């Protein structure tokens, strides 16, 4: 009886879609590994490296590429999301998700703490960085951030309940190119802070161009 149960469980697991399974955090990799971090119960907790950030040139005149980033690599189209909670302390403390081709091409989006206020923040970098924010009216204990990569665009969303998502930005990112995707946090002006990422998941999306071709060239 036990063997039959094991067989049925294994069979059911084999037919579950990849989207039903969360990304395995123990298979991910650090870029700029922080001194203190822990993976437990499919969540990532870390103390953000002080004086660290991602930014290139524009407005400030400097380039930095030294903040913690916990990532896996994906090709093609996908949806990624995570629940983020943090004890923000100083100006520009931030936590979110990042899609990164290389040091000159990346998108990061999440919460950024500026002058005592919480902001939905997006930085898009293609050789030089730009920055956009949506101020929040009150302090929040957590936020959901989601990115959807389709063709040459990335749509960025936020949610307070993982049910209703609101778009915060649409940005260009080179298509047909592998990207590193994962969780990042930075403390450019501070001494670091504690952050926790939960329910991190990546869902594969069928390539739109291929899907269109298959439909137009159906054997039926």
Convert the pLDDT of each residue in 134-186 to its tens digit.
999 889 999 999 999 999 999 999 999 999 999 999 999 999 999 999 999 99
Domains and CATH numbers, the chain: 36-205 (2.60.120.200)
Distance separating alpha carbons of residues 201 and 97, to the nearest angstrom: 11
Q: Residue range 43-60: average pLDDT?
A: 97
| pLDDT at residue 161 in the model | 97
Residues in a beta bridge with 66? none
| pLDDT at residue 22 in the model | 67
Q: How confident is the model at residue 23 (pLDDT cuts 50, 70, 90)?
A: confident
Instruction: Tell me the pLDDT of the chain averaged across its residues.
Output: 91
- Record the pTM: 0.88
| pLDDT at residue 201 in the model | 97
Instruction: Convert the pLDDT of each residue in 67-85 to its tens digit.
Output: 999 999 999 999 999 999 9
Instruction: Convert the pLDDT of each residue in 198-213 to its tens digit.
Output: 999 999 999 999 999 9
Distance separating alpha carbons of residues 67 and 215, to the nearest angstrom: 44
* Token pair of 179 as six digits: 């990207």
| pLDDT at residue 165 in the model | 98
Instruction: Convert the pLDDT of each residue in 94-118 to its tens digit.
Output: 999 999 999 999 999 999 999 899 9
Nearest residue to 131 via CA among 169, 184, 86:
169
Q: How confident is the model at residue 20 (pLDDT cuts 50, 70, 90)?
A: very low
| pLDDT at residue 14 in the model | 41
């Amino acid at each position: 009886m036990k063997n039959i149960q094991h067989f049925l469980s294994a069979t059911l697991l084999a037919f579950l879609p990849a989207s039903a399974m969360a990304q395995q955090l123990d298979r991910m990799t650090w870029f700029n590994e922080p001194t203190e971090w822990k993976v437990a119960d499919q969540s990532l907790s870390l103390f953000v490296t002080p004086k660290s950030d991602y930014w290139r040139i524009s407005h400030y005149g400097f380039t930095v590429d030294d903040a913690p980033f916990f990532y896996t690599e994906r090709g093609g189209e996908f949806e990624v999301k995570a629940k983020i909670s943090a004890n923000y302390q100083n100006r520009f403390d931030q936590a979110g998700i990042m899609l990164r081709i290389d040091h000159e091409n990346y998108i990061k989006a999440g919460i950024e703490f500026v002058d005592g206020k919480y902001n939905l923040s997006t930085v898009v970098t293609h050789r030089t960085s730009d920055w956009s924010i949506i101020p929040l009216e009150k302090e929040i204990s957590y936020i959901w951030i989601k990115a959807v990569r389709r063709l040459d665009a990335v749509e960025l969303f936020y949610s307070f309940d993982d049910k209703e998502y609101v778009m915060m930005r649409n940005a260009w990112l080179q298509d047909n190119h592998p990207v590193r995707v994962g969780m990042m946090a930075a403390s450019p002006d501070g001494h670091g802070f504690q952050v926790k990422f939960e329910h991190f998941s990546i869902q594969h999306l069928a390539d739109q161009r291929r899907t269109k071709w298959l439909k137009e060239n159906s054997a039926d």
